[in-house]
């Protein structure tokens, strides 16, 4: 599953997540984005914190931060293959049960990881782009609830760049060898098999 940050869940919300079968949560947020949970997490749920951004690499982010995601997806994968491979490895090695991946809003960093997972599962690029677009329906509510000042509608920002989210994602996937990328980032063959098994079944 992918989601926005679950720290606002109530006790009833955590109970529902537990009943749904989630046993591992992978948190992609940076340290300064973490907040205390509103209610305790179930003991059966393990949280793995793997900040994805690599914010310390200012040469990269000084160039890409002013520009809207997902324009940075391709360059990010080239720059930080070990970070995305680490997240995929954590999914592959998670305990039996469901895995939830999240950042703050559930669209950008989470969307990048979901793109890789769906590509590994053999999903076509157009369907991956359509799946990514579903997050737009939720992210505006999430940002409003959390008083986050950020661009919710990326359409006009990307239009100024002469493109769209769909075009960027399809283009990124067309030039991407996901398996080679992840192997280069340190993912093992056993982990590739394991993550595919989680996605597709034995």
Report the helix count and the strand count for the chain, using DSSP H and E. Answer: 11, 4
What is the C-alpha end-to-end distance of the chain, expressed in Å? 18
Report the interhelical angle of 125-134 vs 165-174 (nearest 10°).
140
Cα torsion 166, 172, 174, 176 to 10°: value is: -150
Encoded tokens for 72: 């940075």
Output the CA angle 158-174-195, nearest 5 degrees. Answer: 105
Sequence length of the chain is 202
113 near 80, Cβ under 8 Å? no
**Of residues 25, 103, 116, 187, which has the active-site annotation?**
103
| 195: annotated active-site residue | no
Task: Note every long-range contact of 74-78, with CB atoms under 8 Å and residues 24 or more positions apart, other chains counting.
Answer: 74/171, 74/172, 74/175, 74/176, 76/112, 77/112, 77/172, 77/176, 77/181
**Catalytic amino acids?**
103
């Amino acid at each position: 599953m992918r989601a926005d940050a679950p720290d606002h869940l109530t006790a009833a919300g955590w109970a529902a997540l537990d009943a749904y079968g989630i046993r591992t949560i992978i948190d992609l947020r940076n340290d300064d984005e973490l907040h205390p949970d509103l209610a305790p997490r179930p003991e059966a749920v393990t949280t793995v914190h793997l900040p994805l951004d690599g914010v310390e690499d200012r040469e990269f982010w000084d160039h890409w931060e002013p520009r809207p995601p997902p324009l940075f997806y391709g360059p990010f994968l080239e720059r930080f293959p070990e970070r995305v491979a680490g997240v995929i490895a954590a999914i592959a090695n998670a305990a039996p049960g469901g895995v939830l991946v999240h950042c703050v809003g559930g669209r950008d960093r989470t969307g990048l990881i979901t793109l890789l997972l769906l590509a590994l599962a053999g999903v076509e690029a157009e369907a991956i782009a359509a799946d990514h677009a579903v997050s737009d329906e939720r992210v505006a509510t999430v940002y409003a609830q959390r008083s986050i000042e950020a661009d919710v509608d990326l359409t006009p920002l990307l239009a100024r760049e002469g493109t769209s989210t769909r075009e960027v994602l399809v283009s990124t996937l067309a030039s991407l060898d996901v398996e080679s990328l992840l192997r280069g980032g340190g993912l093992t063959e056993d982990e590739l098999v394991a993550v595919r098994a989680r996605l597709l079944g034995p």
